[in-house]
Amino acid sequence: MHPGARTHVGPPPRFLTSGPGLGFGGWAVGGTRWGAPRAERERVAAVERAIERGITFFDTAPTYGGGASESLLGRVLRPHRERVAIATKIGPRDDPRESLEASLKRLATDYVDLAQLHEAGERWEWQLERLRRLQDEGKARAIGACNATHLELARALEIAPLRSYQGPYNLFDRDVEERHLPRCDRHGIAFLAYRPLASGLLGGAYRTAPSFPEDDHRRNIYWFSGSEFARRHGAIERLEGLARGRGTSLAALALAWVLARPGVTIVLAGARTAGQVDDNVTAVERPLTADEVREIDAIVAQAFRPLRAT
Helix (H, G, I), strand (E, B) or coil at 143: strand
Strands 143-146 and 85-90: unpaired
Alpha-carbon distances, residue 248 vs 35, 111, 132, 271, 272 (angstroms) = 25, 38, 43, 17, 19
Alpha-carbon distances, residue 123 vs 110, 150, 153, 233, 253 (angstroms) = 26, 17, 14, 40, 39
Which residues have C-beta within 8 Å of that of residue 182, sequence separation ≥ 6?
263
DSSP 8-state code for residue 11: P
Instruction: Specify the amino acid at residue 85.
Output: A
Residues with a known catalytic role: 64
What is the C-alpha R_g of the chain? 18
Beta strands in the chain (DSSP E): 21-25, 57-59, 85-90, 114-117, 143-146, 162-168, 190-194, 266-270
156 DSSP β-pair partners: none
Alpha-carbon distances, residue 134 vs 25, 112, 119, 302 (angstroms) = 24, 10, 18, 48
CA angle (256, 23, 42) in 5-degree steps: 105
CA–CA distance, 282 with 290 (Å, rounded to integer)? 17
